[in-house]
Amino acid sequence: MEGIASTSALNRTQDESLVRPAGERELTVALVGSPNVGKSTIFNLLTGLSQHVGNWPGKTIEQKAGVHRSAERSYRIVDLPGTYSLTANSLEEQITRDYIASQRPDAVVVVLNAASLERNLYLVAEVLELSVPVVVALNMVDVAERSGLRVEPEVLEAALGVPVVPVVAARNQGISALLEAIDEVVGVAPRPSCGRERCYVYRPRLPWLGEELEALIGQVESLLGDEMVRPYPRRWVAQKLLEGDREITVRVRAQMEQKSWATLESLLLAHEDAVIGLASARYAWIERMVRAAVHRPRVSAFSATERLDRLATHPKYGVALLLSILGFVFWLVYAVASPLVSLLNLGVGEAASLVKLHLVGAPAWLSSLLADGVLGGVGTVLSLMPILVVFFLAMALLEDVGYMARVAFVADRFMHGMGLHGKSFLPLVLGLGCNVPAALGTRIIESPRARLMTTLLVPLVPCAGRLSVLMLVAGAFFGPSAPLVALGIVSLNLTILGVSGYAVNHLLFQGERPVFIMELPLYQLPNWRTVGTVVAQRLREFVARAGTVILAASIVVWALAWLPSGTIGDSYLALVGQCLSPAGALMGLDWRTVVALLSSFVAKENAVATLAVLSSSSGDAELVLALPRMLAPAAAIAFLAVQTLFIPCVATLAAMRQETGGWRWVSAAVLYLFALSFGVGIVIYQGASLLGWGV
Amino acid sequence: MLGDLLRLMAESDESPLVSDLARSLGVSEGLVKVMIDDLVRRGYLAPVGTGCCLGGCSGCAKMKGDCSSVGCSIPVGRRFWALTDKGQRLLQPSSSRA
């Protein structure tokens, strides 16, 4: 076995003999490291202006080499491409390992980020397997110290068995010591800090793979001829074959007789998961290195996050906190936004009156179109903006401080508790903002049937559009109790979602409950610029929708309410509405609210536009004042429940069609939601009637 | 160690956090994240979710569902990983795999 002398219980060691005398010749030193560890800075410090930049032969990757001259000797420095490992997944990884194996530089300097040793040491383990002299440049020790980590280079050096030199490349610190370590490892001079003798015997400690894997590697090695693995060490090739390295596999296969290859292939296939054992051994080795050499502060920077998370991710208190925050957001909407909405509504009413006044001589239809259709519809929808600003601002803030990831965690646990399949949960969380990405997000579910059923559940999540209608109507009817009513309606939605999810899980997944690994980010102070950008972007989308889809729908609704005679009672819309009024009557809704529900099919906010057009056509300038005259309180609650459960907007249906591959299932979803929403509305109103409340 | 991580995840009653796994394995959270990345690269785990933000559907709609490159602000899609079929197979007893 080339380059490997012995093994121990925990670490194998490289043969000291690979360190060969360099004499007076120029030393070749290769720099390797993961991206963003400061490798190029070290290269620039070492080579200054004497650099040559070209491409690696036959490749489009940049090749950089240069010369460093000291009083004693000169070094040819080769900057190899940034890479995390030496498995040929990328061109960079292939170039790096090919260069080290074929050119055999006098020394390889592996540059590590001291603040992220766990991520960088894997590369050290792989380079050591190539049996070349290695020096570790421990860069960014200052960054590590600033983040509270204390790395002890001498301990890491003892643990790794190779020289470890602390460096702050950004401040040109440690470069001379790095050159001394290279001289020592190459064997041309001991480090001055160690006196005349070498500091230690160069004996790198490689990961111990365990007896089973060692035996397996030995078996693979025995099937490999020396010629077919050059220039790589045979043991390294055996490991790469077990890891399923495509390039090495192709090379070995091309040089092997068919019979020998068949034997080797069956051995590799029988151990296709050996890669997990190999990688695990390296991670166990990394863990030992880090545990020995890295000291973390006792009172860590994460403790505040941990303390907060004890509450935010608690099975019961976490849900209570989530509901409290949601309730607070609704209260904020009511306390801050609702007065502004009323003011804007008043403004819209005044503007409509002014338009009518200025168009006294104009045709009546034109005056009504502009005042009732355009201003009544789009104007009223635009007056929802304060609600949306508060809602979007609250969501963006919660997102930016890191709370939304906790919401996802709590919601996942809650939905697991209800029996909902884990993979259904993510699209549903997305639905809180908008149902369109939620429907598109269902494609993470592999099973077509499960994806289909989850897609059917998406519209049950109240989106921002529905929530804004909910807050406006609840505010108009229930005043200070509006936040509680809104929270109740949302809770009803989530309960129905949970019940439906339970059914989906047991019908399609047979109770299977796969889990995720989740990562919670640290809490942080909000970045107001980010928050502002997110809110502005979402408001722009809302205004764009109001100026296009909602404007067009408002004009259509106005036209249907105007034609043929100019009076709403005889209009086509009234005709349609009266056909639907028997269904509406079961929920206490008059034909205008039923038509408003239907028009929300275009966009959810359109329910408000339609109610505004119909109320102003009936002589009420302000929707907020007109609503309580249209409906009884029990009917208002039924209306709110129906509109949050009703069929989704056309954009969501289009996304659902895209995911289900046709209109058939979308039609089924429409029928299901139609029946569900009207059913719930009827139960609420009839229940209230039986109790004699609010009718 | 990688196999233990997958096993801990699969045997958990609820979705484990990176910090839970780190505690159970007796390693740092940083190392667990590196191992997760490795398992993703080798095809045993897959990041799930779309990477879309909670609001604002236009960007995601434009990407026709491939939201990971939209760069929306909510990072749910970049913080969740699920077992792949290959990962499931690894956890099955070798006799049932054959």
- B54 vs A395: CB contact, 8 Å cut-off? yes
pLDDT of A27 strictly over 70: yes
pTM listed for this prediction: 0.70
Mean pLDDT for the stretch of residues A482-486: 90
Place of tokens 């050499």: A293
Using a CB–CB cutoff of 8 Å, tell me whether B14 touches chain A: yes
Hey, is the C-beta of A246 within 8 angstroms of any chain B C-beta? no
AA identity, residue A190: P
Please indicate if any CB of chain A lies within 8 Å of the CB of B11: no
CA distance B71 to chain A (A): 12
Asked if A541 lies within 8 A of B56 by C-beta distance, the reply is: yes
Average pLDDT over residues B1-23: 88
A46-69 pLDDT tens trace = 988 666 777 666 666 677 889 998
Q: Is A323 on the interface with B (CB under 8 A)?
A: no
CATH 1.10.287.1770 describes domain A209-270 = yes
Nearest to B2 among A279, A392, A517 (CB): A279
Radius of gyration of chain B (CA): 16
At B73 the pLDDT is: 34
Lowest-confidence range among A16-25, A161-170, A174-183, A386-395?
A16-25
Pick from B2, B19, B83: CB nearest A280: B2
- Give the pLDDT confidence score for residue A265 in this predicted structure: 92
Band (A20; pLDDT cuts 50, 70, 90): very low
Answer whether B92 touches A (CB < 8 Å): no
Worst-scoring range by mean pLDDT, A51-55, A172-176, A636-640? A51-55
**In this complex, which of A279, A434, A514 lies closest to B56 when CB atoms are compared?**
A434
The answer to whether the beta carbons of residues A306 and A394 sit under 8 Å apart is no
In this prediction, residue A679 carries a pLDDT of: 94
In the prediction, which pLDDT does A345 show?
Answer: 77
Position A536 scores a pLDDT of 86
Confidence at B55, pLDDT banded by 50, 70, 90: very low
Mean pLDDT across A131-154: 90
> What pLDDT is stored for residue A128 in this prediction?
92
Q: Do B67 and A440 touch (CB under 8 A)?
A: yes
CB contact under 8 A, A430 and B54: yes
Across the range B2-15, mean pLDDT stands at: 87
A495 vs A316, A460, A488, A672, CA distance in Å?
A: 16, 10, 10, 17
Mutate to test the interface with B, among A87, A310, A418, A430 (most CBs of B within 10 A): A430
pLDDT band of A195, cuts 50, 70, 90: low
Chain A within 8 Å of B75 (Cβ-Cβ)?
yes
A502-507: average pLDDT = 72
* Model pLDDT, residue B50: 45
Query: Tokens 């608690």 appear where?
Result: A314
CB < 8 Å to A313, chain B: 17
Phi, psi angles (nearest 5°) of residue A107: -150, 150
Which of A274-283, A343-352, B59-68 is most confident?
A: A274-283
Q: Please tell me the total number of residues recorded for chain A in this structure.
A: 695
* Structure confidence by residue, pLDDT tens digits, A63-108: 788 999 887 788 999 999 999 888 867 888 888 988 998 889 999 9
CATH 3.40.50.300 in chain A, residues? Answer: 4-206
Asked if residue A500 has pLDDT above 50, the reply is: yes
The mean pLDDT of chain A is: 82
B63 vs A300, which has greater pLDDT?
Answer: A300
What gap in Å lies between CA A486 and CA A478, rounded to an integer?
Answer: 10
A431-456 mean pLDDT: 72
Map out the domains of chain B as residue ranges: 2-97
Average pLDDT over residues A272-298: 89
Under CATH, what is the fold of the domain B2-97? Arc Repressor Mutant, subunit A (1.10.10)
Which residues on chain B are in Cβ contact (under 8 Å) with A119? Answer: 30, 34
Query: What is the least distance, in Å, from the CA of A287 to any CA of chain B?
Result: 7
User: Minimal Cα–Cα distance from A435 to chain B, Å?
Assistant: 8
* Residues 6+ away with beta carbon under 8 Å from A545: A603, A605
Residue A556: predicted pLDDT: 86
Specify the higher pLDDT residue, B64 or A177.
Answer: A177
CA distance B96 to chain A (A): 14
Dump strand ranges (E) for A268-393.
294-295
Residue range A223-237: mean pLDDT, rounded: 80
**Spatial CA neighbour of A483 closest among A341, A625, A334:** A334
Angle made by CA atoms A587, A589, A592, in degrees to the nearest 5: 150
pLDDT at A449: 66
Please report residues of B whose CB lies closer than 8 A to that of A542: none
Q: How far is B17 from chain A (nearest CA, A)?
A: 5
Residues 6+ apart with CB under 8 A from A426: A408, A441, A444, B48, B49, B50, B76, B77, B80
Q: Is the minimum CB–CB distance between A520 and chain B shorter than 8 Å?
A: yes
- Residue A365: the pLDDT is 86
Residue B14 with chain A: CB contacts under 8 Å: 412-413, 416, 515
Question: How many residue contacts between A and B have a Cβ separation below 8 Å?
Answer: 189
Return the DSSP state at A562.
H
Contact (CB<8Å) A518/B83: no
Between these two residues, A659 and A533, which has the higher pLDDT value? A533
Tell me the pLDDT tens digit for each residue of A542-599.
888 778 877 887 888 888 888 887 777 778 888 888 888 888 899 999 888 888 888 8
pLDDT band, very low/low/confident/very high, at A239 (cuts 50, 70, 90): very high
pLDDT at A7: 34
> Which of A324-338, A512-526, A632-646 is the least confident region?
A512-526
Residue A1 pLDDT greater than 80, yes or no: no
Query: Are B53 and A534 a contacting pair at CB < 8 A?
Result: yes
Write the pLDDT tens digit of every residue in A372-427.
778 877 887 888 788 888 888 888 888 788 887 788 788 777 666 665 655 666 67
- B31 close contact with A: CB closer than 8 A: yes
Contact A651, B57 (CB under 8 A): yes
Domain with CATH 1.10.287.1770 in chain A: 209-270
Determine, for residues A426 and B50 on separate chains, whether the beta-carbon distance falls below 8 Å: yes
The C-alpha atoms of residue A141 and residue A177 are separated, in whole angstroms, by: 15
Which residues sit opposite A132 in a β-bridge?
none
Tell me: pLDDT of A479 over 80.
yes
Mean pLDDT, range A622-645, rounded to an integer: 87
- Look at residue B57 in the predicted model and tell me its pLDDT: 41
Count the helices and strands in chain A (H runs, E runs): 33, 13
Q: Which residue of B3, B10, B49 is in closest CB contact with A280?
A: B3
pLDDT at residue B62 in the model: 39
Question: Hey, are the CB atoms on A437 and B48 less than 8 Å from each other?
Answer: no
B34 Cβ under 8 Å from any chain A Cβ? yes
A430 to chain B, closest Cα gap in Å = 5
On chain A, the residues whose CB falls within 8 A of the CB of B4 are: 280
Cβ–Cβ gap A286/B31 under 8 Å = yes
Region of residue A5 (left: phi > 0; alpha: psi -120 to 50; beta: else): alpha
**For chain A, how long is the longest CA-to-CA vector?**
109
**Given this model, what pLDDT does residue A602 score?**
75
Of the partner residues A116, A118, A408, the one whose CB lies closest to the CB of residue B76: A408
Q: Is A405 on the interface with B (CB under 8 A)?
A: yes
Q: How far apart are CA A557 and CA A596, in angstroms?
A: 9
Q: Is B8 on the interface with A (CB under 8 A)?
A: no
Which strands make up the sheet holding A4-7, listed edge to edge? A4-7, A11-14, A205-207
Q: What is the pLDDT of residue A276?
A: 92
What distance in Å separates the CA atoms of residue A482 and residue A462, rounded to the nearest whole number?
16
Mutate to test the interface with A, among B11, B36, B53, B54 (most CBs of A within 10 A): B54
Contact between A137 and A110 (Cβ < 8 Å): yes
Rounded to the nearest 10°, the torsion over CA A71, A75, A76, A82 is: -120
Query: A222 near A260, Cβ under 8 Å?
Result: no
CATH fold label, A4-206 = Rossmann fold (3.40.50)
Pick among A118, A389, A425, A517 to test the B interface (most B CBs inside 10 A): A517
Chain A interface mutation, best of B9, B80, B95, highest count of A Cβ atoms under 10 Å: B80
Among all residues of chain B, which has the CA nearest to that of A419?
B14
Would you tell me which residues 263-302 of chain A have a C-beta closer than 8 angstroms to some C-beta of chain B? 273, 275-277, 279-280, 283-284, 286-287, 290, 296
A458 neighbourhood in chain B, CB within 8 Å = none
pLDDT value for B96: 52
Averaged pLDDT for residues A439-455: 71
Give the whole-angstrom CA distance, residue A200 versus residue A445: 56
> Would you call B57 and A395 a contact, using CB atoms and an 8 Å cutoff?
no
